[in-house]
Amino acid sequence: MLKLVLLRHGESIWNQENRFTGWTDVDLSEEGLRQAWHAGDVLRQHGYMFDIGFTSVLKRSIKTMHLTLEAMDLLWIPVQKSWRLNERFYGALQGLNKADTIAQYGTEQVQRWRRDPHELPPPITPDDPRYPGHDARYRHLTARELPLTENLSQTITRALPFWTETIVPALRSHQKVLVCAHGNSLRALVQYIDHLSDAEVAELDIPTGTPLVLELDDDLNRLNQYYLEPPTQPGPG
């Protein structure tokens, strides 16, 4: 059996402010920092250890990985970063308050932008300051790879090469793997691994800072899946 742990980053400042985030590189909130440490603490208490970590190039996810590993005294393991694990690129919605957007466009439209795997949010243009082509960390990406907007199905397509070429070989060589990423990039991975329908993935909401354990067979079919909670302390007597 192969075991994989997925961890959504701790709460970010824009999660707290209820804003569409996408590739905006916002930091963790105080609560997010606490959640990231707590995740490591819970993993340690359950006896987990990792050989390698994979994360995105966004600081809320990088810092979550770092704090989680620190709480486990595993800061020494290799951690590989890839833009392919980034959050879904939310186009022109990035930065907007979700409640204001609902007031302007209606609940149904906003829900489609957020959860319909094929619905594209309004795109930005390359002269927009939010265009990733202006950011040094994406300078090796081709024009086709630089998004102007992205739906969940496109997020799966760009995350998949990293899954098959990097994460799967690590799992197959029996390394213990921690993937720290984002609400939608993790939903994309789980949809692929679990063969979830569009309706099922629309219902999937992975909470921040809570380790999700996937047990897989040798063909990478899911056998079991559960969130790790703090172990219950034995009561007095």
From candidates 147, 183, 209, 211, binder to ligand 2PG by CB under 6 A: 183
Active-site residue, from 31, 38, 46, 87: 87
Task: Tell me if 21 contacts ligand 2PG by CB under 6 A.
Answer: yes
Of 13-21, 33-41, 116-124, 229-237, which segment contacts ligand 2PG by CB under 6 A?
13-21
Q: Which residues inside 83-142 make contact with ligand 2PG, applying CB under 6 A?
A: 87, 90, 114
Helix (H) or strand (E) holding 108: helix 107-115
Of 18-26, 67-75, 101-109, 222-230, which segment contacts ligand 2PG by CB under 6 A?
18-26
Task: Tell me if 10 contacts ligand 2PG by CB under 6 A.
Answer: no
Query: Which residue type occupies 121?
Result: P
Residue appearing with tokens 């192969």: 2
- Angle at which helices 107-115 and 98-105 pack, to 10 degrees? 120
Two tokens at 71? Answer: 């709480």
* Phi/psi at 163 (5° precision): -60, -55
How many residues of this chain interact with ligand 2PG, rule: CB under 6 A? 9
Rounded Cα–Cα distance for residues 69 and 82 (Å): 18
- Edge-to-edge strands, sheet with 52-55: 79-81, 52-55, 177-181, 2-8, 212-216, 222-227
Rounded Cα–Cα distance for residues 88 and 157 (Å): 11
Of 17-25, 137-145, 155-163, 214-222, which segment contacts ligand 2PG by CB under 6 A?
17-25
Q: Outline where DSSP puts E strands in 56-208.
A: 79-81, 177-181
Residues marked as binding for substrate? Answer: 8-15, 21-22, 60, 87-90, 98, 114-115, 183-184
From candidates 6, 15, 147, 216, binder to ligand 2PG by CB under 6 A: 15
> Minimum distance from CB of 22 to ligand 2PG (Å)?
5
Site string for ligand 2PG, 22-41 (x = CB under 6 A): x-------------------
Residues marked as binding? Answer: 8-15, 21-22, 60, 87-90, 98, 114-115, 183-184
Told to judge if 87 belongs to the known catalytic residues of this protein, a careful annotator would answer yes
Rounded Cα–Cα distance for residues 59 and 51 (Å): 21
Rounded Cα–Cα distance for residues 134 and 148 (Å): 12
> Minimum distance from CB of 114 to ligand 2PG (Å)?
4
Nearest to 11 by CA among 70, 64, 72: 64
Told to judge if 9 belongs to the known catalytic residues of this protein, a careful annotator would answer yes
Rounded Cα–Cα distance for residues 140 and 83 (Å): 10
User: Which residues are catalytically annotated?
Assistant: 9, 87
Which residues are at the interface with ligand 2PG (CB under 6 A)?
15, 20-22, 87, 90, 114, 183-184
